[in-house]
Amino acid sequence: MANIDGGHYFLTTLIPLTLEPVRREDGSFTSPSHLLREMLATLPTAQQSPACVAAGLQSPFSRCTRTHFLRAVVIDQPMYNGRDGGNALLQGLRKVNLLAHEPVDNLSRPYLMFCADFDARPGEPDGGLASWATGLWDRMATELRAVFSPCIGFGSVRDGAAFAAWLQRCQIETTMSFNDYYVPMPDLHGYTARQVVLAFAAGTLALSALAGWGLARSGGSPAWMLLAILAAALLSALGVMAMLWFKGRRPFPAGANTDLPSVLKALHVQQRFALLAAELQGADDAALHARFGQFLEQVRPDDLAGPTQPPGVIRSDGIGLVVHEAVAAKAVAI
Amino acid sequence: MTRSTLELADIQGNILTAYGRLGFPKARYLLFHIGQAAAGRAFVDALHRRVTTALRWPSSRKAISPGKNPVTRPAVTLNLAFTFRGLLALGLPIRSLRGMPDDFIDGMLARASILGDDVLDNTPEHWDPVWQADKPSVHLLVTLNAQADAEGEAVPQLAAVTEEILALTASLNAAAPGAVVLLEGHRGPSSRWQELSALMQDKQPTAAEHFGFIDAIGDPIFSGQYPQGEEQGLAIGQGAVDGLGHWRPLATGEFLLGWADEAQEVAGAAMPPDLSRNGSFFSYRKLHQHVDSFERWIGQASQRFAAAWRFDSLADARQTLMAKMAGRWADGVPLIAAPDIAAWKAFNQRYAPGTPQRARALVEFRYEGDPQGTRCPMTSHLRRMNTRDALDPRASAEPAERMGSALNNRRRILRRGLPYGSRDAADGEHGIVMLSHCASLSRQFEFVQQQWLNFGLDFNAGNESCPLVGNHAEGARFVIAADPASGHAPFIASGLPQFVSTRGGDYFFAPSMTALRMIAMGTVDPT
């Protein structure tokens, strides 16, 4: 797997944070990682409940119609799992001093893991990363400045192109992605164990024959021949492994209608059609025909630019969201 | 799987047996607040010897011999359970208490957003006052189940046992005022306790509930619950099933603490082991049934359904609609066995009431032959509460390779409790008190409530909730899939109002007899 899979770009970045304490506007001091966490915690969420709607705020990421998911996590240190285990008897025989501390891995500074799943653009040289990052900058530069200000190197970012370049410098390869919309599954063909063995045998045989022909011409001894066969087997095994490796790295083809505008449109059509189906139960053919024609006109299922579900809301069928009330728990006093 | 040998005299009887269905159709639930730990322990000490255990009463019909020391069938059963705050009030060591699961420590109010108790008329301002947040905490629950007399009333011993308990609290309170307080504020005939009764017909108890369904037909069967000969038979249709259709009892640890569970482990629990072992958690939920709205909506929807599917009569449409919502016909016949009116009648002719063949046919079925829900809708109550083999991730594999009910085996609950009130009550005070026993409230009870009853994703039904007991916010709908061969279109029932709403409850721990004795003596020692 790679950064691009199934038509989606799976971005993973690890962004180092500065260590210099930050002075806020009110004069208080804090650490860059705390400032970053505070910024992330106060970013508005999508409008997923009446309370969010009433607050009048919307997730800034909803301004971008390429972003499916995005996740930001501050990584302070790698987890320490304790001393490496081992066989107590062997350690005793080897006189391992269990009181001498093993080294503990540390990061030199906190990192921000910033990951996103967005629509790739196969026509662009980098698969769409730069255009996505630039687009994000155009739509939410203020929020991006607030979030990334404690990050190393962000201070010199002045525009979308610089933001894209900076993000790319922090990028690491995504080795495992999760694509939620991949339906239907493509018809995938891996190699069977039989094919792998046959490829190995054929490779070994061909290389050995080549070596045998060469040795026969130069009058090599049987010992050299044996060595040549072993080398051929080794080369063939490496070749088969390379074959599997490259096959495994090949991304899935883009799925049908899995870009964000199509997904949003599908959600909208599905919700509207469910209401239509309920409404038209028992209707006669003429009414059915007329009403369905009206539906096509109103909902325009093929028109991505037409009526659709805007990003950042959870339904678009006109039905109100259920109100969740704050339920007070029992007082702590028993 | 190794069969568990349970020490029945150590286990409270209401865990293994649904008393309400089995000869004790009248019940009274009393709630107490413990103001002084020592008096509370004295209260538990006085009551715990009266607790009805899971020991079997001699029965000639079931070939249970009296043995050397036969127990007699009581007129009134008595069982005890505690909330987390109750255990704290009784002075259990913090080290034991911190081993309790967080769902139980939270209690039901704090889990409102998980349980759907923060929406519609489920919210606590609608609850019986005794359960509300500003009232003294519920600490101890005493459940009394009584036999009925010839008039269909509770035997007089129910009042006598109640008086005895109240006299006990009076004497404790005389020594230390407020030591053990009976909490009042139940709605219904008495505000001092929750009165419950099976619905009676001709002075005889029935298994019906207020909407008119026969309830509580299937209930999990677990290893050790019944004598060996009986258990395997009962596990058919009610235990765990593999891809080949072989049934077995569920692992004991799904319902009793301290035993191996379906993950093949003994889950960690509050220490010492004796405190947890043979105990069980349960949720107490008082659920109001909106009988009027149900009748009204069913009446309207039946007319639309009758027109859409061209039923012979409105009555047939009504029966079918109710069956599609529940997953069973009103008399309990499963839709999988009898998907339409004709098949229902044929089933009832084939299996006479009261026969063991009928009892088995009511529960022995799988969903493998109905992947689209054209017989039993994917979102019907039955298919949500107990998904059987319906969520088998390897459903399309060879039968021997399938996983059967593997994903369901960790989500089962033992359903106890009884209805309350009368269907015709002018004050609208009618519903059921549902007690759901399990080893983990969050993994079993809460999961079923949140993911399967109030959500539909596992059934490919988006956010649709259970048509009977789920929350019905604006836009609620229930889809009845149709077999294309029938010539009918799927029927979409829209605008479901709320049929069942929460009116109170909490999370309880039903300890073993050993644990009750330790709690009473104040000798719970986690070290």
Chain A interface disruption, residue of B33, B83, B87, B119, most A CBs within 10 A: B119
For the segment B475-522, what is each residue's pLDDT rounded down to a tens digit? 999 999 999 998 999 999 999 999 999 999 999 999 999 999 999 999
Q: Do B107 and A274 touch (CB under 8 A)?
A: no
| Cα-based distances in Å from B250 to B182, B245, B412 | 38, 15, 9
Q: Does B105 touch chain A (CB under 8 A)?
A: no
Residue of B nearest to A319 (CA): B475
Among A78-82, A178-182, B47-51, B72-76, name the one with the lowest average pLDDT.
Answer: A178-182
For the segment A19-67, what is each residue's pLDDT rounded down to a tens digit? 999 999 999 999 999 999 999 999 999 998 898 999 999 999 999 999 9
Chain A interface disruption, residue of B83, B472, B474, B488, most A CBs within 10 A: B474
Q: Do A281 and B118 touch (CB under 8 A)?
A: no
Q: Give residues 135 to 194 of B whose Cβ lies within 8 Å of A.
A: 137
Q: What angle do CA A291, A276, A49 make, to 5 degrees?
A: 140
Q: Do B118 and A282 touch (CB under 8 A)?
A: no
Instruction: DSSP for B222-258, please give it.
Output: BTTSS-HHHHHHHHTTTSEE-TT--EEPBPGGGTSTT
Q: Residue B443 in contact with residue B410, Cβ under 8 Å?
A: yes
Residue type, A167: L
Q: Give residues 111 to 140 of B whose Cβ lies within 8 Å of A.
A: 112-113, 117-120, 123-124, 133, 137
Contacts of B123 in chain A (CB under 8 A): 325, 327
B196/chain A closest Cα distance in angstroms: 26
For the segment A233-253, what is each residue's pLDDT rounded down to a tens digit? 999 999 999 999 888 878 888
For the segment B223-267, what is each residue's pLDDT rounded down to a tens digit? 999 987 889 999 999 999 999 999 999 999 999 999 999 999 999
Residue type, B94: I
Instruction: DSSP for B427-449, please give it.
Output: T--EEEEEEEEES-IIIIIIHII
Q: Does A332 touch chain B (CB under 8 A)?
A: no
**DSSP single-letter state for residue A173:** -
Q: Do A334 and B474 touch (CB under 8 A)?
A: no
Q: Does B300 touch chain A (CB under 8 A)?
A: no
Q: Do A328 and B113 touch (CB under 8 A)?
A: no
Report pTM. 0.92
pLDDT for B310? 93
Encode A19-55 in three state secondary structure: CCCEECCCCCEECHHHHHHHHHHHCCCCECCHHHHHH
**Is the model's pLDDT at A178 over the cut of 90?**
no
pLDDT for A332? 65
Residue of B nearest to A328 (CA): B133
Q: What rounded mean pLDDT belongs to chain A?
A: 92
| Range A187-201 average pLDDT | 88
**Is the model's pLDDT at B416 over the cut of 70?**
yes
Q: Does B424 touch chain A (CB under 8 A)?
A: no
Cβ–Cβ contacts within 10 Å for residue A305, how many?
8
B107/chain A closest Cα distance in angstroms: 9
Chain A interface disruption, residue of B31, B118, B455, most A CBs within 10 A: B118
Q: Give residues 287 to 306 of A whose Cβ lies within 8 Å of B.
A: none
- Six-digit token pair at B96? 């034991």
Q: Which of B85, B475, B489 sits opposite A334 (nearest CB)?
A: B85
Q: Does B482 touch chain A (CB under 8 A)?
A: no
Q: Residue B433 in contact with residue B285, Cβ under 8 Å?
A: yes
| Range B128-157 average pLDDT | 96
Q: Do A281 and B88 touch (CB under 8 A)?
A: no
Chain A interface disruption, residue of B310, B494, B496, B507, most A CBs within 10 A: B494
Q: Give residues 383 to 422 of B whose Cβ lies within 8 Å of A.
A: none
**Is the model's pLDDT at B426 over the cut of 80?**
no
Q: Do B119 and A324 touch (CB under 8 A)?
A: yes
Contacts of B473 in chain A (CB under 8 A): 322
pLDDT for B63? 67
Q: Which of A277, A282, A319 sits opposite B474 (nearest CB)?
A: A319
Contacts of B494 in chain A (CB under 8 A): 278
Q: Which of A282, A320, A330 sits opposite B474 (nearest CB)?
A: A320
Which residues, in sequence order, are bridge partners of residue B81? B141
Q: Which of A277, A317, A322 sits opposite B492 (nearest CB)?
A: A277
Q: Give residues 235 to 294 of A whose Cβ lies within 8 Å of B.
A: 274, 277-278, 281-282
Q: How many CB pairs under 8 A join A and B?
A: 60
Contacts of B114 in chain A (CB under 8 A): none
Q: How many residues does chain A have?
A: 334
CA–CA dist B144, B79 (Å, integer): 7
Residue of B nearest to A321 (CA): B474
Contacts of B304 in chain A (CB under 8 A): 281-282
Contacts of A319 in chain B (CB under 8 A): 474-475
- Phi, psi angle pair for A250, to nearest 5°: -65, 125
Q: Do B492 and A281 touch (CB under 8 A)?
A: yes
Q: Does A185 touch chain B (CB under 8 A)?
A: no
Q: Residue B479 in contact with residue B492, Cβ under 8 Å?
A: yes
Contacts of B85 in chain A (CB under 8 A): 330, 334
- Phi, psi angle pair for B255, to nearest 5°: -130, -30
Q: Does B214 touch chain A (CB under 8 A)?
A: no
pLDDT for A189? 77
- Phi, psi angle pair for A42, to nearest 5°: -105, 5
CA–CA dist B4, B259 (Å, integer): 8
Contacts of A328 in chain B (CB under 8 A): 109, 124, 133
Q: Do B106 and A329 touch (CB under 8 A)?
A: yes
pLDDT for B307? 92
- Phi, psi angle pair for B74, to nearest 5°: -75, 160
**Is the model's pLDDT at A226 over the cut of 70?**
yes
**Is the model's pLDDT at B119 over the cut of 60?**
yes
Q: Which of A278, A322, A331 sits opposite B494 (nearest CB)?
A: A278
**Is the model's pLDDT at A201 over the cut of 90?**
yes
| Range B331-348 average pLDDT | 97
Q: Do B477 and A317 touch (CB under 8 A)?
A: no
The ipTM, to two decimals, is 0.85
For the segment B68-104, what is each residue's pLDDT rounded down to a tens digit? 778 889 999 999 999 999 999 999 999 999 999 999 9
Q: Residue B197 in contact with residue B152, Cβ under 8 Å?
A: no
- Six-digit token pair at B363? 């529960």
**Is the model's pLDDT at B128 over the cut of 80?**
yes
**Is the model's pLDDT at A148 over the cut of 70?**
yes
Q: Do B110 and A334 touch (CB under 8 A)?
A: no
For the segment A95-146, what is each residue's pLDDT rounded down to a tens digit? 999 999 999 999 999 999 999 999 999 999 999 999 999 999 999 999 999 9
A274/chain B closest Cα distance in angstroms: 9
| Range B303-319 average pLDDT | 95
For the segment A162-175, what is each residue's pLDDT rounded down to a tens digit? 999 999 999 999 98
**Is the model's pLDDT at A333 over the cut of 70?**
no
A129-148 and A32-42 helices, crossing angle to 10°: 110
**Is the model's pLDDT at B417 over the cut of 90?**
no
